[in-house]
Amino acid sequence: MAYVPLADQDHEHELHDPHTFITKYVWSQDHKVIAIQYGGTAILVGLVALGLSVMMRLQLGFPDTFSLIDPSSYYQAVTMHGMIMVVYLLTALFLGGFGNYLIPLMCGARDMVFPFLNMLSFWFYLLSVLILLSSFFVTGGPTGAGWTLYPPQTITPGTPGHETGILLMLISLGVFIVAFTMGGLNYVTTVLQARSRGLTMMRLPLSVWGILTATVLGLFAFPALLVSAIMMTFDLMLGTSFFMPAIMAAGEQLDYNGGSPILFQHLFWFFGHPEVYIVALPAFGLVSDVLSTHARKNIFGYRMMVWAIVAIGGLSFVVWAHHMYVSGMNPYFGFFFATTTLIIAVPTALKVYNWVLTLWEGDIRLNTPMLFAIGFIFTFIHGGLTGLFLGNVVIDLPLSDTYFVVAHFHMVMGVSPVLVVFAALYHWYPKMTGKMMNETLGKLHFWCTFLGTYAIYLPMHYLGFLGVPRRYYAMGSTDFIPESAQALNANITLAALFVATAQVLFFINVFWSLKNGKPSGGNPWGATTLEWQTPDTPPKHGNWGKDLPVVHRWAYDYSVPGYPQDFIPQNVAGDFGVSDDHDHDDAPAKHA
């Protein structure tokens, strides 16, 4: 039987509009509702992680003043903060949230290819979050092994949460991976197979490319985490020795022998490093679209940007052991992984150049999403440069496990993606709700967040050079650390409190604008991509009304000379002196 592509199918019979409140908003199979459920859950659990970081900062800044947490709960806070932020907030928000919302809209599809599976994905994700949060309430509390969960100390008695917390963490990760796989298969299949007529891969907005590549990375990287979680669960529950060597704890010989802790580190980082790019690539994609739209210019070097995303995705699987220079692995590995790590900087730098060149001579509109997007370029360059330091073995050895590392990864995969999250939320909020967000509040939010994060993380680099170790509850009287380090620590804490408080502005803005925001209309930013061309705003179930859009051009026809508007939507037909021939993609549009 001949197979009929989606864009050519008759869709009359497919639209079963949900009617009851339950099918519309709770057990919804609509990708837009699922996206908001995913995003809302991720942000809520992210607030828990933010609260934990505030507690840690209070302890570090004023060690003798507050008695909020003891050393054990400090480790638990470190662990849960890291795990929640990386996996349950950023991964879920970018792929489950933005991926779900934007992929069908940007691809001109009516929904994900398997909506039921998509709904299951969210409910499994929610389950994994609940399991994770339940570990706060069990005997011994959540695990305090650090978010990397390195054995043997994850399992040995003495580590906080070794009773139940670690088991709940491993189960929660397993459930999360199941949820991610169900969603991820949907995202990839939708992008590859359900695009609208005329929408070739090389006409896709970079957001879709970023999310697609990140999802593929996730589908290949999460298996390593799943396997290590299963093996660790067996070490924990069945007394196997996959990761546990012969070891003494509290003067007693434990019943383990012959396992390899390094094996866990390899498996973990085979997941863990692609995970960095699972978070970063969607951010790269989204920020490209925000920059191009608000600079009223085509993205510079579209094809290069696509290949850079793909190249980074591929290379991210061969750099994992740069997290393990001090682990005791074969030193020759270090040479190999330092080389690959520095090579991955090339496509990454290329992307940064292209963002800057997109801004070059653009008709820049400094509204809130644009400010966040430009802020991202700053923090990303900053975090990327310190990454070059840490990628070299000889420089990494002294800096390993100091605050320099903390500063680096917070800059590059904490602050930078979060700035993109905000850019994207301010940018797509009008499409999700039909209301504009308040610009004044938004700009205030941006400056507080942007300057505040610099006040937090710049001094941390210096603390790292002093040799202040990370994950310490208190420095005590350490000879090589000067008194002034403590003053700096107190300042960092104040800045952190300030930034955390400033996020209230964002939430006020979201809820205030929902009711009082100016009506946005369908395309408030004058954007070209398909999601802004829907017949209704917010888009209704099925997205496109009766007919699917037909795409006639790439996603970046801004400021085309001779065209009355400064943008040409992708579904507008006609040759206006611009060629869709990709040999000319890189030429900047001439404009006044």
Residues in 196-225 at the binding interface with another protein, rule: CB under 8 A: 196-202, 219-224
Instruction: Fill in the amino acid letter for 362.
Output: G
Region near another protein per CB under 8 A, out of 1-9, 78-86, 134-142, 469-477: 1-9
| Per-residue tokens: 311 | 């190249």
Output 131 or 267, the one with its CB closest to another protein: 267
Q: With contact defined as beta carbons under 8 Å apart, do 235 and 243 qualify?
A: yes
Q: With contact defined as beta carbons under 8 Å apart, do 158 and 249 qualify?
A: yes
| C-alpha 384, offset from chain centre | 16
Residues in 396-435 at the binding interface with another protein, rule: CB under 8 A: none
Tell which residue, 75, 72, 94, has the closest CA to residue 85.
Answer: 94
Output 23 or 260, the one with its CB closest to another protein: 260
193 binds another protein (CB under 8 A): yes
CA–CA dist 144, 140 (Å, integer): 10
Residues in 118-137 at the binding interface with another protein, rule: CB under 8 A: none
Angstrom CA distances, 519 to 9, 297, 433, 535, stand at 34, 25, 9, 15
185 binds another protein (CB under 8 A): yes
11 binds another protein (CB under 8 A): no
Rounded CA Rg of the chain: 24
**Please, what is the Cα angle at 311 between 461 and 149, to 5 degrees?**
50
Q: How would you class 494 by CB atoms within 10 Å of its CB: exposed for 0-12, middle for 13-18, buried for 19 or more?
A: middle
Output 263 or 481, the one with its CB closest to another protein: 263
With CB under 8 A as the contact rule, the residue among 62, 123, 150, 234 that binds another protein is 234
227 binds another protein (CB under 8 A): yes
| Rounded (10°) CA dihedral 76, 81, 87, 90 | 170
Residue at token pair 């350490």: 478
With CB under 8 A as the contact rule, the residue among 51, 239, 328, 519 that binds another protein is 239
Print the binding letters for residues 272-291 with another protein: x by CB under 8 A, - otherwise. --------------------
| Per-residue tokens: 303 | 């094809």
Task: Tell me, by CB under 8 A, how many residues bind another protein.
Answer: 54
100 binds another protein (CB under 8 A): no
In angstroms, give the least distance from the CB of 344 to another protein: 20
CA–CA dist 394, 327 (Å, integer): 14
Output 189 or 491, the one with its CB closest to another protein: 189
In angstroms, give the least distance from the CB of 216 to another protein: 8
Tell which residue, 495, 497, 472, 468, has the closest CA to residue 483.
Answer: 468
Instruction: Fill in the amino acid letter for 161.
Output: G
With CB under 8 A as the contact rule, the residue among 67, 238, 332, 483 that binds another protein is 238
240 binds another protein (CB under 8 A): yes
CA–CA dist 63, 57 (Å, integer): 9
17 binds another protein (CB under 8 A): no
Residues in 544-573 at the binding interface with another protein, rule: CB under 8 A: 550-552
Output 261 or 369, the one with its CB closest to another protein: 261
Tell which residue, 51, 48, 52, has the closest CA to residue 77.
Answer: 52
1 binds another protein (CB under 8 A): yes
Q: What share of the chain is helix, strand, coil (3-state, %, to 5)?
A: 65, 0, 35
In angstroms, give the least distance from the CB of 533 to another protein: 16
In DSSP terms, which residues pair with 252 in a beta bridge? 249
Residues in 102-121 at the binding interface with another protein, rule: CB under 8 A: 113-114
Region near another protein per CB under 8 A, out of 91-99, 256-264, 440-448, 503-511: 256-264
181 binds another protein (CB under 8 A): yes
236 binds another protein (CB under 8 A): no
Binding stretches for another protein (CB under 8 A): 1, 3, 5-7, 113-114, 181, 184-186, 188-189, 192-202, 219-224, 226-228, 230-231, 234, 238-242, 255, 257-260, 263, 266-267, 270, 550-552, 580
